[in-house]
């Protein structure tokens, strides 16, 4: 595994309390250190504005730059400070750098970046969301654009508890970008219904309080046939850990079990995992479980999903013609 990390990300900092704060990365670092996994740390590279413009409109990039200079909130959820511009460029550049390395080096490339990105659409707010949800530039979208230089099809799996509306909007109608999004349906940002697709976007919209077995069942029924069909060399992951039970912003009830399972199911591929959400216990326990699953494998037996999730998976298999 390669860890991409820099203390510079602490400088993107709220003035008062905010769940998306520098302590998140301290939690991750400590959790990986405790497991002896904090090694092979690579310094992230800063992106150029021209890289941002492959994903975002110029007006939006200027709005963010000016807001950082003036330390002006972007919206009620999304703060910036003077240093946020630099952090956001390094986070975006880091995701691109991970792809450049991952196509040559089959491994888990873990981008521990802030600010997060998956809610940021081409010109800001995506799919009528109420806000940018703590995101400035869509880091994983930068990774997708880079990956398209090497691959005919790019696969993104987003298991953050919130719908990756920004990523989905940016690549809507680009059928070469397959985006599978697990999310709690009915919370922020409100998008990502089961039926919503352009042909290559798969919305695993799960009910409140879904647990490990629900997620694992949905993965087996929906993600596995897509992986078998696409046979990706590289998988991009929008890696949020806020679906962990009691992480704080949602009702899902995941534990280490799902994250270890997800990591183990991606062992055959080179993986770029870009940090999205996760605010407390999800970072402490979910993220290391994902890493260990990838490095060591993890077996699951006797999965017992809810009847509702069985129904959802069946519907998704019909919508996307999965066999
Ligand atoms: Zn989230």
Q: Measured between alpha carbons, how far is residue 22 from residues 84, 153, 200, 323 in Å?
A: 12, 34, 35, 44
pLDDT tens-digit readout, 218-237? 999 999 999 999 999 999 99
- Listed in sequence order, the residues at least 6 apart from 26 whose beta carbon sits closer than 8 Å to its beta carbon are none
Helix, strand, coil % over all residues of the chain, rounded to 5: 40, 15, 45
pLDDT per residue over 110-158, tens digit each? Answer: 999 999 999 999 999 999 999 999 999 999 999 999 999 999 999 999 9
The bridge status of strand 124-125 relative to strand 120-121 is: antiparallel
Q: Are the C-beta atoms of 265 and 234 separated by less than 8 Å?
A: no
Q: How far is the CA of 168 from the centre of ligand 1 (A)?
A: 15
Q: Is 56 a catalytic residue?
A: no
Q: Which residues of 177-210 are buried (b: 16+ CB within 10 A; e: fewer)?
A: bbbbbbbbbeebbebbeeebbeebbbbbbbeeeb
Q: Which residues surround ligand 1, an ion (CB under 5 A)?
A: 160, 162, 240, 242, 277
Strand duo 201-206 + 120-121: pairing: unpaired
pLDDT of 323 strictly over 90: no
Q: Looking at 12, 56, 109, 119, which residue is catalytic?
A: 119
Q: What is the mean pLDDT of the chain?
A: 97
Element (H, E) at 153: none
For residue range 68-111, list pLDDT tens digits in order: 999 989 998 999 999 999 999 999 999 999 999 999 999 999 99
pLDDT class of 321 with cuts at 50, 70, 90: very high
CA 14 – ligand 1 centroid, Å? 18
**What is the whole-number distance in angstroms between the Cα of residue 323 and the centre of ligand 1?**
30
């Amino acid at each position: 595994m390669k860890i991409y990390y820099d203390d510079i990300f602490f400088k993107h900092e709220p003035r008062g309390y905010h769940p998306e704060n520098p302590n998140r990365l301290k939690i991750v670092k400590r959790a990986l250190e405790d497991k002896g996994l904090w090694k092979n740390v690579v310094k992230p590279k800063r992106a150029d504005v021209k890289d941002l413009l492959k994903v975002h409109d110029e007006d939006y990039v200027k709005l963010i730059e000016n807001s950082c200079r003036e330390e002006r909130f972007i919206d009620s959820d999304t703060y910036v400070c003077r240093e946020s511009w630099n952090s956001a460029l390094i986070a975006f550049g880091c995701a691109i750098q991970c792809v450049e390395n991952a196509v040559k080096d089959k491994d888990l490339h873990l981008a521990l970046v802030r600010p997060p990105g998956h809610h940021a659409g081409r010109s800001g707010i995506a799919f009528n969301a109420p806000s940018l949800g703590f995101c400035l530039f869509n880091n994983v979208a930068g990774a997708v654009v880079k990956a398209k230089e090497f691959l005919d099809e790019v696969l993104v799996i987003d298991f953050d508890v919130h719908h990756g509306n920004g990523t989905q909007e940016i690549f809507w109608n680009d059928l070469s970008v397959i985006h599978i999004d697990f999310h709690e349906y009915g919370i922020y940002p409100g998008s990502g219904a089961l039926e919503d697709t352009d042909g290559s976007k798969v919305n695993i919209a799960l009910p409140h309080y879904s647990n490990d077995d629900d997620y694992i069942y949905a993965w087996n029924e929906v993600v596995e046939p897509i992986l078998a069909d696409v046979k990706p060399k590289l998988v991009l992951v929008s890696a949020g850990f806020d679906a962990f039970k009691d992480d704080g912003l949602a009702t899902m009830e995941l534990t280490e079990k799902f994250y270890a399972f997800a990591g183990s199911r991606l062992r055959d591929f080179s993986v770029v995992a870009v940090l999205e959400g996760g605010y407390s216990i999800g970072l402490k326990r979910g993220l290391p479980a994902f890493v260990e699953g990838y490095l060591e494998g993890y077996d699951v037996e006797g999965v017992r999903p809810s009847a509702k999730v069985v129904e959802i998976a069946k519907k998704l298999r019909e919508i996307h013609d999965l066999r």
